[in-house]
Amino acid sequence: MSLVQAELERRGLVTASVTVMPEITTAIGVPRSLVVPFGLGRPFGAPGGRALQSSVLRALLDLCARTDVPVVESFRSPGDMNVVVKNTEVW
């Protein structure tokens, strides 16, 4: 768990992370993480993609309600919750 997250959680503040590298995030031990299929430096998707970015943020905030930590959840398309979003756009 990152030192900052560990201290915040000890003080009763809930933390959650967005990650593009779930193996590392899991190894570090963050309590709540959202795995996104986007590239490094763009964890919320392409610039200007407000609808998608809002969906990622909502999914991250939803994780804050989880107490069954640690939890690693994959971001899913807002239109079809059974299909994981794929990054096919070249930025």
The predicted-structure confidence for 30-81, as pLDDT tens digits, reads as follows 899 999 999 889 999 889 999 999 999 999 999 999 999 999 999 987 664 4
pLDDT score of 81: 42
Max Cα-Cα span within the chain: 41
Q: DSSP secondary-structure letter at 33?
A: E
Query: Computed over its alpha carbons, how large is the radius of gyration of the chain?
Result: 13
